Amino acid sequence: MADYARARRTMVENQIRTADVTDLRILSALLEVPREAYVPPARRAIAYLDENVPVNASGRALLKPMVFAKLVQAAQIGETDHVLDVGCASGYSAAVLARLAANVVALEEDAALARMAVDTLAQSGMHNVSVVSGPLAAGSAPGGPYDVIMLEGATEVRPDSLIAQLKEGGRLVAIVGAGPAGKATLYCMTGRHATAKPLFDAAAPLLPGFVKPAEFVF
């Protein structure tokens, strides 16, 4: 029988701490959330690998643990923060974020993944997460504005529709760009404008609705 608790500790020690993630609240949350519970049974053996872990046949995945942890640290989530988790997939990211924030709106447009998120979060006793269904690129304006918005995948376009749902001083973290050219980016809202700060190189599957439109060529 797999020792998932040991796998979690190894993930934190060998993948997270070595990537300069030093926030003890984040490290504690990652140790508490059973990542294997949020992947299909056939993939539980690879739940803690240092890679993006697929959760369905359409290419959706849990972010690589190191990338996820560094994005969360960059977002500087406070205990009173209201967070929007875009593309929550099976709910793993929302479960981690819920241990750091006051409440989390977990947005998912894939019906099967949304049902998995609802069920698994309920089994985990997470009462400060609300799973909502809808197009990821539209965000969830009725639940906003938000202190933090996190994209659980890559975008080829500036996520302006989501940035508009930030509070003054709010932060949005995302991987901008496709494939190995992706760059983890922090957007900070000041006044009516959001400034972008590149953080580190990262790669993740593109989220639905965040693909750059094809250019017309004569």
Q: What is the CATH number of the domain that holds 170?
A: 3.40.50.150
pLDDT at 2: 80
Band (215; pLDDT cuts 50, 70, 90): low
User: Which residue pairs from 122-125 have beta carbons closer than 8 angstroms and sit at least 24 positions apart in sequence?
Assistant: 123/37, 124/33, 124/34, 124/37, 124/95
In a domain? residue 88: yes
In a domain? residue 35: yes
Kindly tell me if the per-residue pLDDT of 4 is higher than 60: yes
pLDDT at 217: 53
In a domain? residue 216: no
* 12-70 tens-digit pLDDT: 999 999 999 999 999 999 999 999 999 999 999 999 999 999 999 888 999 999 999 99
In a domain? residue 102: yes
In a domain? residue 210: no
Q: Whose CA is closest to 169, among 143, 195, 197? A: 195
63 DSSP assignment? P
The model's pTM is 0.94
In a domain? residue 196: yes
Domain that holds residue 135: 4-201
pLDDT at 179: 79
Average confidence score pLDDT of the chain: 94
Domain count, the chain: 1
In a domain? residue 194: yes
| SS3 call for 36 | helix
pLDDT at 216: 55
In a domain? residue 91: yes
Amino acid present at 28 = S
- 131 membership: H or E segment, kind and range: strand 129-133
C-beta neighbour count of 171 within 10 angstroms: 23
